[in-house]
Amino acid sequence: MSGPVFRGGPVTVRPPATTANIGPGYDALGAALTWYDEVELAVADTGLTVELDGEGAADLPRDEGHLLVRAARAAFDRLGGQPPGLRLRCVNTIPQARGLGSSSAAVVGGIVAARALVEGGDELLDDEAALALAAEIEGHPDNVAPCLLGGVTIAWADDVTGRARAARMEPAAGVHPVICVPALRGYTAASRGLLPADVPHAEAAANAGRAALLVRALTAAPELLLPATRDWLHQNYRRPSMPQSLDLVDALRAEGIPAVVSGAGPTVLAFSAMPGTEGVEAIATKVAGSDTFAVTALDVSTAGAAVIQR
């Protein structure tokens, strides 16, 4: 059996930042954001070359241990075989270890770039298969789903196969995300370690109701975002690892601004009634000081990881 036919490339992919959980949607709901890394991947005659610029450039590996390289290699295996060599260049702008899906951007960026380098790659590894592979590498699908598909997504594991699945939805026009990014890093494994094995039944039931409401709020009724983002499952349990972030969430919500921890934190995600940062920035400065959180208004990215050059 012959191996895949490679394009010489390079191909360029822009994977978006993502926010997951969004309050009660723990490990299920996510959204793509208009903040992007850029990945350039090409087939080489031999070996591996990795160039890194931007976020994490001083810390990330420049060899086969780089997460994006690992994801690309896994995708090439699914596509029929490895190229003779690879040349990778990453320009990272998504903050690392802040709850904005930087690792998911690397995983999805590697898979999509590898797929684009193979003739017929979109048929050999369609979005359903790419999502399943990305979730295998990342460990859970709530960030990789919106990174791959764009928009707002609900992710779950198939009851029979255990493979990741996702449903994509269009965001409502009035959904205006504002992110508050602290200088402090956070790590998902440490944050998950604070969660209890069990929660009271009444809290689980309340959380399920608000998660259902959140789907409606994000896709059709943004005026419901404040009650829809109320969470019982994870945020308060994580407070010891990011007290300033949770203090900001509480302060914003007290002023009627929907706010949650983004992913595993410590970034705070708020929703503004209008485009812009004014109300959120004023409260962030009052609660934690102007140097603690960098406040940025974004949109929901309706496109996932897109190939912008091939």
What is the share, in percent, of the chain residues with pLDDT greater than 70? 97
Q: Is 202 helix (H, G, I), strand (E, B) or coil?
A: helix
171-205: per-residue pLDDT in tens? Answer: 999 999 999 999 887 665 566 678 888 999 999 99
User: What are the structural domains, with CATH classification, of the chain?
Assistant: 11-169+300-309 (3.30.230.10), 176-297 (3.30.70.890)
pLDDT at 262: 97
Mind listing the pLDDT tens digit for each residue in 31-48? 999 999 999 999 999 999
Q: What are phi and psi of 91, to 5 degrees?
A: -115, 105
Binding site feature residues for ATP: 95-105
Cα(309)–Cα(97) distance, integer angstroms: 28
Look at strands 47-54 and 176-182 and give their pairing: unpaired
Structure tokens at 86: 């690879």
| pLDDT tens figures, 126-174 | 999 999 999 999 998 999 999 999 999 999 999 999 999 999 999 999 9
Alpha-carbon gap, residue 233 to 123, rounded angstroms: 39
The DSSP call for residue 15 is: P
Say if CB 35 and CB 145 are below 8 A apart. Answer: no
Binding residues: 95-105
Cα–Cα distance between 146 and 123 in angstroms, integer?
20
